[in-house]
Each structure stands twice: as C-alpha cells, then as structure tokens.
Structure 1
Amino acid sequence: MRRKDVVLMATVTSFEALERPSRSELRQFAELFEPLFAASSEEARRQAVAALSQCQTIPSAVAFFIASQPITISAPFIAASKCLDDQTLITIARTQGAAHARAIVRRENLSPMVIDALVGLRHAPEDVQAARVKPMVAKSQPDEAEDPARDEALRERLRAMAAHVVRPESDRLGLRTITAMQEALLVRFARNRESDLFATALADTLSASRWLAERIMLDISGHQLATTLKGIGMPRNEAMLILERLYHHLDELEGGVPQSEHLWDTLDADECGRRVEAWGRADRYTYEERRLTAAEPAANQPATLRTASSRS
C-alpha cells in the first residue's frame, strides 16, 4: 500500500509541474489517476485531492470523479477547484447529497445558475431529499450527518445569495430563449412592417396560439411586446428596431433618447420572463379548454350520426 501511495503522489506531483498540459498528457493522466487512486490509502487520496484542488487544468472526467468521492475526501476540491464548471457543480449537488452541497456553498463567486439550483434542491420535497441524502450519510463522518439547524442555516444563506445576486442578461436560468432563426424572422417582418407575418412568427417563438400573439401586439403602447421581447431574451438593438417599426411613437425622442429605450430600461428581465411564462401557461390552458369544448358536441352525438358524419 505504501508503494502505491508513493506512485499516486508522484503522478500527481508530475502533473502539477506541467504548466500547460497537452491533450495527450491530460488523457494519460486521466487513464492513470483513477486506478492509482483506487489502490491507495485514504490518507494518500486526501493529499492527492488537496494538491489537485489548486491545479488550473484537470481532465473533466477526473474532476467529476474526485467531486463524487465521499465528502471527507472531496470537500477541499469541491470548495476550491476552478476545474468544476457550473453544470458539474449542479450535478454533484443533486446526486451526492447535502454535505457536497454545503461544500459547494463555500466556493467563492458562485454563479446565479448554481445558486438557483442549490436553492431549488434545498426546497425539494422531503422524501426526495431523503433519497438524495441517504447514500451520503452512510459514507460521511458523524459531524457530516444531517443537522436540521445547519441545513436551515444553509437555506437562509442560499436565499440571501439568490436575492442579492446580479444576473447577466445572458443567464436565462431555464426561461424560454429566442433562437437565432426566430430572431431573424421577427426582425425581418418588423422592418417590413408585415404585422400579420410578425404575429405568426411571434406565436411560433412563444409556442403559443395566434390569439396570444395578436393580443400582445394590440397593446398600442408597445409595453406588452417589449415585455415579451425582453422576457424571451431578444438582444437590445434588435428589440429597439422591432418596437420602433411597429409602434411609431416609440421612435420619438424624449430627453434626447428614443422612447423605446426608456421603455426597455424600465423592464426587469427576470420579471418579464416570468410574465411571459405565465401568459404561455394561461394560453395553453385556454386553448385546451376551447378544444375540449369544441369536441363535446361531437362526442354527444348518437353513434350512427357520428359514423355518418365521419364518412362524409
């Protein structure tokens, strides 16, 4: 065992010395690390993980492997390594349990995406939480077992972080986001003032009925369309063009600035996203209700009449 520990640490030390490891060196390290790690003592594993937590570049497979180890080994790596991207951190939090989530919370500069995922994880139903935490508890030290007071403190910290974080506009956090093709179509139809085609393209972008798209456009102030465009992540310049082409008053200057910009800047991207999603849910509910209502008369017809009608 002692010999294998030495080999593991020598391999890690050699890898650390590589300032910019090549693709082949990364692949070779990934192939060597896991079997050496498995054959070494727990103390050697801790030392190896602590050393690798300071490396700037590690194969993604190795980073995920280390972060998935028991928290007594992986904690320093999870809390400090720059080789764990947001998606990996979220996966680790969801699959490994509360102790791993607490280690993630100790990281500096958590992204809004990770913060929201951690908040959502802590608010999951209790039976789901128990299923996620159970495997972790079995391999944790006694002080890492579930502690209600500690968990509540974690929840409060996450809530505070989520409430004060400033999210970049590019961070959509699961909201509907316009595609490049949809963006190009909306801009084209707005530039040509083809409102009928614009409404069709907007309905397709929202995965909604034509009725919802027309209702949004019928707000002559342009507020609802601006809310929609910001809610689906339309770039600012393209949104300005659309609003000014479809609503002429928004092209007028106010204090040397087009009214479209004043309107756009008063809107909060997160709130717009939530509003668009709410409109979409209401539209789907209404559309389904209409479809069922229209189907009822046919369903209530005598069987012979329905058969004759279908043949015709």
Structure 2
Amino acid sequence: MTSEFRDLERPQALRRKDVVLMATVTSFEALSHPTRSELRQFAELFMPIFSASSDEARRQAVAALAQSPNVPAAVAFFLGSQPIAVAAPFLMTSTCLSDEALVTIARCQGTEHARAIVSRAALSPTVIDALVGLRPDISRQARSATAEPYPGSAPVEMSRAEVDTSIDTDKRAREEDLRRRIKLLAGHVERVEGDRLGLRSLSEVQEALLVRFARNREATFLVTALSDILTTSRWLAERVLLDLSGRQLATVLKSLGMQSADATYILTRLYGHLAEATGGVSEAESLWQSLDEEECNARVEAWRRADRYTYGADQAASSLFSGADTDTTQAEAFVEERPVRSSATLRRSASGFRIR
C-alpha cells in the first residue's frame, strides 16, 4: 500500500488511475465519521476515477466499499447500477443502499441485479413486495429474449407438444407467483411473536416506574403514570386499578407489552389474593397466561375511545396536571410568611378565634 501511495508523487503522465482509485478508497475508509463536506468531495472525486479505471480495480474498489457504512447515497446508487460482475458484492452486503434505491436498481437493471438483491441478509417488506411484483415482468422479458430469432435464421414451426409445454410453464409460474403473494400477505397479517411495530409499548423507564410504584403501593403515582402512558384521563386509570380482580390492569399491561415477570409482580403487590399459588402457579401467572394479546389490544383501544368520547382531549390532558397545579398552590401558600404571634393573639385563639 505504501508503494501505491508513492505512485501518487510521480508526474501526471506516470500516474496510474487504478492506483489513484484504490488510494481514494483507502483514504475514505480511514474516515470513521466523515463530515458532509468530505462525503461530497469523495463523491465528486470517486465517480470520474472509477469510470476511468480497469475492471479489476473497479471490482476491488466495490468490494472494499461494500463493507463501509459511510458511502454517500449517490455513490451507492452508482455502484449498485454497475454491471453485475462489478456490483454483485455491493448489492448483497452494503448497508448504504436504501429501499428506494434497491427497488429502482432491480427495476432498471434486470434479473441478475434482482437476484443479487434477493441474496441480502435482510430485506424490508417494501423491497419484498417490489421484487415479487417484478417477477412476471422479468419472466416476460426472458421469454421475449429467448423467442427472438437470430439474424439470418429461418423461422421454425413449434409443435403442439412444445406449445403445451410452454403453456404449462407459464401456468406454473403464475401459480408460484400467486403462492408467494399469499405467503407474503399471511406474513403481514399474522404478527410475529415479539413484534411490537405500530403498537403502544412501554419504554424501559416507564416499566421501571410502574414496578417501583407498585412495590411501594403508591396508587396516586401509579394512576398518573398509567394515564400518561395511555394518554387518557385519570378516571380511566382509576377505574382500571379499582377492579379488585386485577383483570383490567392485567389487560392493560398485556396490551403494553410488559414482561411476564414484571407484570405478575405488579399484580401480586396490588392485589394480594393473586399471590396465592395453586399447583405451584400463582393466580397472577394463571391470569396473565389466560389473556390473549390481540384481544387485550382491542379492549384497551375501546376503553381509550370511550374515555375520549366521555371526557374529551382537553379534560383528559388537564386532569394529568391538576394534581401538580394543586401541589404548587399549596406549596406557595405554605412558604408565605406567617404573621408573628403575640400573647394577645394566643389568648384570642384560646377564646375561639381562628389563627391566620
């Protein structure tokens, strides 16, 4: 590598563009956190040098940049659009290609690029849908390319058996495409266990606060935390906690995705009868296992809608801070300077007068 950098010091006529390309890539890899200006300079310098270099140097540069997480978007799209012999490692491993770039490359470059994209370790649902939709077009292009006669060749009559074979092939391709689409739709409908995407979930801080308030049996703080997490009025949170069976609170915790151990601990601390064990399993654990997460989500959303209709967004929001306003007013009244008491005021108070 040192000798390659030394070549940069030679006169312009002797400078080899392949060496310049590899030196540019190496210097860019040395930047752990490149600035916006450095990314722009690299994009402006890289593309002309890459276009003027040999195929071997291009493959080496693409293989090196495929491991870099900082490649600019324009350069990444440029490399992904190269011939498949050069772009394959970049399409299969680079994390700098966005979903839009992958879909565009698959649509514009053809079958080989699409196959390289399919070989990536992870694909988003958007890219999968686009690739599935591209399959009929790709198959149609391949059949049309195969059906084109060579220049100077005479047309050949296809026999009935060959026609039937091609029809069966098309039918199988359509059935396979439909089967893949159904599997993809089923994967979207049936949520994978542990997938909380798009659902109301607890953060680590919120979960820790709920466990702490339940451990100390601080019902007021627990009501405030629940109403804040659910973005509802305090009345709904109080109604949930007043259910002595614990089922409503378990339903809320299940819909929020709380861990089983933390949820059963909260239930046993707030409702003592749920700590009783039958056959080595506590009542809280049995209650938790009997709840279905989808049903809990639907029930909690119905409670939230009813709460909005009953109290309204403004009243729900004001109820969250009413306790804080009351505490502030009491604190201000407490720190007011109290009047100095004399013996006369004490005698009057003993006679039934109220002390200020």
| 1:80 counterpart residue number | 119
The residue type equivalent to 2:210 in the other structure is L
SS class of match (1:182): helix
- Cα 1:254–1:32, aligned 2, differ >3 Å: closer, same or farther? same
More displaced, 151-160 or 67-76? 151-160
SS class of match (1:61): coil
SS class of match (1:244): helix
CA distance in 1, matches of 2:265, 2:130: 49
- Cα 1:10–1:187, aligned 2, differ >3 Å: closer, same or farther? same
CA distance in 1, matches of 2:79, 2:103: 17
- The structure, 1 or 2, with the larger RCO (C-alpha pairs under 8 Å, 6+ apart) is 1
Contact 2:275 2:284 in 1 (8 A): yes
CA distance in 1, matches of 2:56, 2:102: 15
- Cα 1:49–1:280, aligned 2, differ >3 Å: closer, same or farther? farther
| 1:100 counterpart residue number | 131
Contact 1:53 1:76 in 2 (8 A): no
- Cα 1:274–1:75, aligned 2, differ >3 Å: closer, same or farther? farther
Q: CA deviation at 1:30?
A: 7.3
Residue 276 of structure 2 corresponds to residue 256 of structure 1: no
CA RMSD of aligned residues (A): 4.0
State the TM-score, normalized to the length of structure 1.
Answer: 0.59
Structure 2, unaligned stretches of length 5 or more? 1-49, 142-173, 316-356
| 1:114 counterpart residue number | none
CA distance in 2, matches of 1:80, 1:222: 49
| 1:195 counterpart residue number | 219
SS class of match (2:214): helix
Contact 1:4 1:36 in 2 (8 A): no
Structure 1, unaligned stretches of length 5 or more? 107-136, 292-312
Q: CA deviation at 1:189?
A: 1.8
- Cα 1:203–1:35, aligned 2, differ >3 Å: closer, same or farther? closer
The residue type equivalent to 1:12 in the other structure is R
Q: How does 1:152-167 map to 2 (within 5 A)?
A: 153=179, 155-162=181-188, 166-167=192-193
SS class of match (1:60): coil
- Cα 1:178–1:27, aligned 2, differ >3 Å: closer, same or farther? closer
Contact 1:240 1:260 in 2 (8 A): yes
Contact 1:202 1:213 in 2 (8 A): yes
Name which one, 1 or 2, has greater alpha-carbon Rg: 2
CA distance in 2, matches of 1:157, 1:287: 43
Q: CA deviation at 1:67?
A: 4.0
1:15-68: per-residue Cα shift (whole Å, max 9, x none)? 44x6994x5xx5469776544565x5xxx2x4444444544xx24237863443
Contact 1:8 1:37 in 2 (8 A): no
CA distance in 2, matches of 1:203, 1:149: 51
**Which of 77, 93, 96 is the aligned partner of 1:60?**
96
The residue type equivalent to 2:235 in the other structure is W
CA distance in 2, matches of 1:226, 1:244: 11
Residue 58 of structure 2 corresponds to residue 11 of structure 1: yes
Contact 1:212 1:283 in 2 (8 A): yes
The residue type equivalent to 2:104 in the other structure is S
| 1:286 counterpart residue number | 310
CA distance in 1, matches of 2:225, 2:270: 14
